[in-house]
Amino acid sequence: MAPIAEWLFLFLIFPGLLFTVVVGLTLCWVDRKVTALVQWRAGPPPGQPFWDVLKLMGKEVIVPAQAWAGGFLSLPFVGLAAAVLAGTFVWIATTGMAPTPGGDLIVVIYLLAIPTLAVILGGAASGNPLGAVGSSRDMKLMLSYELPFVIALLVAVFQKHEIDGEMVAAGTLSLSGLMEFQGDVGSILFRPSGAIAFLVALLCAHAKLGFVPFDLAEAECEIGEGALLEYSGPLLGLFKLTQAVLLATLPVLLVTVFWGGLDPTPLGVLAFIGKIVLILVLFVLIKNTNPRVRIDQAMRFFWGPLTALALLALVLAQLGL
């Protein structure tokens, strides 16, 4: 296969667009089902998230008169494309399937920021003051969690390990390189530094997904969905899909960086699915047992204790623990 055709397949079919969307919507269903069980309800059937998106796709688009229409209409597409691209890189790395990786950890971190940015810019461009409040909150939330998130991920990069009497760090930003390193020295998660970093990264990923208690950017009862307030129909559907793709990407990123990724054996695949579902259930439990925080509380939480914890993990990693 020619490289271009190969990349198109990787990006559009597997493990890109089609695959991440299907996996993501399935994980959405898991989320809703577990939430329902926690709340003593029956919950939706497995196909529900798919039907929801399909229904949105059939609705009309309403453009606010005060909006910058060009950006308002195009940003959902950019956000989803970037999320899918990040997902493609992460899945390629974790399954070890492509010969040449096209991006590394830094690229993925940046690509994962674009969907949030699309929501922020879309909300600001909608011309709605409540949308702008949502954008402002979302931007501040992003600032808050990105700091500990990045530090926690870098713990895996700078984790030192004694090989033949020498302290060696992975010292790579390549996702496959990080997996290789863990193949040599064992999963980073099972070290004190890695466990702390994983916990921090998990909470940051939780905020990145906009789950309760960090849903303050949408806060239906205060600012009516915030940045998404003016979005309707297919555009809203695209944002829902973006959310699903992120749900299919972030846990995989965590597993790749901290937990050895995917071992391509039947047992390995089962274990991998178990890891993803475990992370997802952790998300759902945090989500269902906490009330929403205010933005200043969120900022203090992420820049205070969580950043301190992440830095502690980094120090431990430098010491080889």
Partner 1 sequence: MDNLLLPIVIPGAVGLLVLFLPARMRALHLLLGIGGALATFGAGALLIDTRGAVSWPWMDLGGLQLDFALKMDAFSSWAVAFTGLMAVLTAAYGAGWFRGKGGAPGRYYAWLLLATAGACGVLLADNLLLLVLFWELVTLMLFLLAATGREEGAPGAAKAFGVLGLGDMALLVGVVLIGLDRTWSISELAASPLIADQASYVLMYVLLLVAAMAKAGAMPLHSWIPTMATGTHASVMAFLPGAVDKILGIYLLARISLDWFVPGDGLRLAVMTIGALTILGAVFMAMIQHDLRRLLSFHAVSQVGYMLLGIGTGTIIGVVGGLFHMLNNAIYKACLFLGAGSIERETGTMDLGRLGGLVRVMPLTFGAMFVAALAISGIPPLNGFASKWLIYEACVAAEMPLFLIAALFGSALTLASFVKVLHSVFWGPKPTEMDGVREGGGGIGMPLAMVTLAGLCILLGVFAAWPLDNYIGPAVGLEAGGAVTGAATLEGNPAAWSDVDGTEPVDRPYPLGTLEPLLLTGLLAVGVLVLLLLAHAGQMRMRRVRPVFVGGQPFDRDENRFPGTEFYRTVQDLPAVGPALRLGASGQLDPYEAAQRAGTPAVRVLRRLHSGLVRDYLFWCLLGIAVVIAVLIGS
Segment 88 to 147, residues that bind partner 1, using CB under 8 A: 88, 100-107, 109-111, 113-114, 117, 120-121, 124-133, 135-136, 139-140, 142-143, 146-147
Out of 35, 50, 187, 300, the residue judged to bind partner 1 by CB under 8 A: 300
Nearer to partner 1 (CB atom), residue 20 or residue 95:
20
- What letter does residue 292 receive in the DSSP assignment? P
Binding mask 158-197 for partner 1 (x = CB under 8 A): x---------xxxxxxx-xxx-xx----------------
Cα-based distances in Å from 149 to 75, 109, 305, 310: 24, 9, 13, 8
| Minimum distance, C-beta of residue 97 to partner 1, in the bound complex (Å) | 16
d(CA 190, CA 78): 37
Q: How far is the CB of 57 from partner 1 (least distance, A)?
A: 4
- Residues of span 259-298 touching partner 1 by CB under 8 A: 295-296
Footprint on residues 10-69 left by partner 1 (CB under 8 A):
11-12, 17, 57-68
Q: Least distance (Å) from partner 1 to the CB of residue 253?
A: 15
Do residues 262 and 276 touch, judged by C-beta distance below 8 A? Answer: no
For residue 40, what is the DSSP state? T
Rg of the chain taking only CA atoms, in angstroms: 20
Cβ 226 to partner 1, closest distance in Å? 11
d(CA 6, CA 150): 31
Quick check: 312 binds partner 1 (CB under 8 A)? no
Residues 6+ apart with CB under 8 A from 112: 82, 83, 86, 208, 246, 249, 250, 253
# residues near partner 1 by CB under 8 A: 90
Structure-derived torsion over alpha carbons of residues 6, 7, 10, 11, reported in degrees to the nearest 10? -150
